[in-house]
Amino acid sequence: MKSLVTALTGLLLLGGCASQTPNYIVLDPQLQGISQQTAQALPLSVSTRDLRTANYVVKFDEGDGAAKLVSPSDSPRAQLEALLRKGFADAGYSIDPASARSLHVDLDQLLTLVTESTFGYEANTRIDIKVLATNGSHTLAKEFRTKGMRQGAMSADFATLELELNKLMTQIATAVIQDKELNEFLTQGGQQ
Q: Which fold has domain 36-187?
A: Rossmann fold (3.40.50)
> For residue range 39-73, what is the model confidence (pLDDT) as tens digits?
888 999 999 999 999 999 999 987 677 788 999 99
If we measure between CA atoms, which residue out of 145, 143, 138 comes closest to residue 184?
138
The domain locations on the chain are 36-187
pTM of the model: 0.84
Helices (H), the chain: 2-19, 76-90, 158-177, 180-187
> For residue range 67-118, what is the model confidence (pLDDT) as tens digits?
889 999 999 999 999 999 999 999 999 999 999 999 999 999 999 999 988 8
Distance CA 113, CA 116 (A): 10
